[in-house]
Amino acid sequence: MTASSGDAQGAKKKPAVSAAILLLVVALGAGIAAAGSRQGTEVMGLPVFALVVAWIFLVQIIAFIPAWLNQTETFFDLAGSLTYITAAIGGVALSGHTDAVSLLLAGAVTLWALRLGSFLFMRVRRSGSDDRFDDIKPDFPRFLTVWIIQALWVAITLSAALAAITAAERPTLGVLTVVGMLLWLAGFVFEIVADLQKSRFRAEPTNKDEFIRTGLWAWSRHPNYFGEIVLWMGIAIAAIPALSGWQYATLISPIFVIVLLTQISGIPLLESKADGYWGDKAAYQAYKARTSVLVPLPPRAAGSEQL
C-alpha cells in the first residue's frame, strides 16, 4: 500500500468516525432527556426537560453555521455559556416553577455561566485563535461534531439542576438544598480566585514564559478545575430533594464533570502542554513533585513521594 492510498483511506474513515460519534452523542442526549423527563412537568403533552435538551442541541447547531462559514471558534465558549443560561431560564419559564429550589438552581447556573463565558470569551479575544481548533475548523464533520459534543456537555452537566427545576413534585427548601448551594458558592469563589490569580500573573511582563506557582496554584496545579468540580457537586446535592425515580440518573452530572476534567479534555491536555513548555526545567519538575494535581493540599517537602 502506498502512502497516498493510505492517506486516502484515512480520509474516507474520518467522516465515518464523525458520523459514529454524532450518533453516539445524540443517543446519549436522548437517554438523558428520557431519564430527566420522568416525573417531570409537561407543556402541551411534551416533557419540559426533553424540550430544553432539544433546545440545547438546536442552539449549538445554529451557532455552528456562522462559525463554519467564517472559520472561527471565537464564540464557541460564549455559545456554550449562553446555552446554559437560556436552558436554565427556559426550564423555569416553561415549567412555571418559581419556588426557592428552582430559582436558586437556575440562578446559580446562570451566574456561573455568565462569569465563565465572559472570562473565556475575553481570553480568546486577547490571545487570538484557539490552537485546539486549527486542524478541526476546515473539516466540516469534525467541526460540527465538536459543537454537538458541546451540546451533550451542557445537557449532562445541567441535567441534575434541570431535572429539579422541571420536576412535577415541588420540594420545600431543606437542609440538602442549603448545603448544596453553600458548596456551590465555595466552588464558585474558589474558581474565580484561581482564574483571577492566573490572569494577573500572566499580565505581568516579567512572568512571560513562566508558569504560575503562587497563591492557590501553590497548593494545586489546577485549582480552577477543583472549584468547577466542587460547584457542580453542590448543584447536584441541592437538586436531590426534587428528584425521584429515573431522575436520579441525572446525578451523573458531577461524575461527568470529574471524568471530563481529570481524564479527557481538562487536566491531561494541560499537563501535556505544560510538560512541553517547561518539562525540561528543574523548577517545574520540582513544582510538579511537591504540588497536588487537583485537590488543594499543602506543598509537599522536597524529596517526599508524589501522592
Q: Where are the chain's structural domains? A: 16-290
CB burial of residue 45 (10 Å; 0-12, 13-18, 19+):
exposed
Cβ–Cβ < 8 Å for 220, 294: yes
pLDDT classification of 302: cutoffs 50, 70, 90: low
> pLDDT > 70: what percent of the chain?
90
DSSP one-letter string for the chain: --HHHHHHHHHHHHHHHHHHHHHHHHHHHHHHHHHHHTTB-EETTEEHHHHHHHHHHHHHHHHHHHHHHTT--TTHHHHHHHHHHHHHHHHHHHHT--SHHHHHHHHHHHHHHHHHHHHHHHHHHHH-S-GGGTTTTT-HHHHHHHHHHHHHHHHHHHHHHHHHHHBSSPPP--HHHHHHHHHHHHHHHHHHHHHHHHHHHHHSGGGTT----SGGGGTBS-HHHHHHHHHHHHHHHHHGGG--GGGGGGGHHHHHHHHIIIIISSHHHHHHHHHHHHTT-HHHHHHHHHSBSSS--PPPPTTPPP-
More confident residue, 145 or 86: 86
Say if strands 42-43 and 46-47 run parallel, antiparallel, or are unpaired: antiparallel
Dihedral angle of Cα 117, 119, 120, 125, to the nearest 10 degrees: 120
Q: What digits encode the pLDDT tens for the residues 156-212?
A: 999 999 999 999 998 888 999 999 999 999 999 999 999 999 999 998 999 988 999
pLDDT classification of 4: cutoffs 50, 70, 90: very low
Q: What digits encode the pLDDT tens for the residues 44-94?
A: 999 999 999 999 999 999 999 999 998 888 888 889 999 999 999 999 999
Q: Phi/psi class of residue 295: alpha, beta or left (left: φ > 0; alpha: ψ in -120 to 50)? A: beta
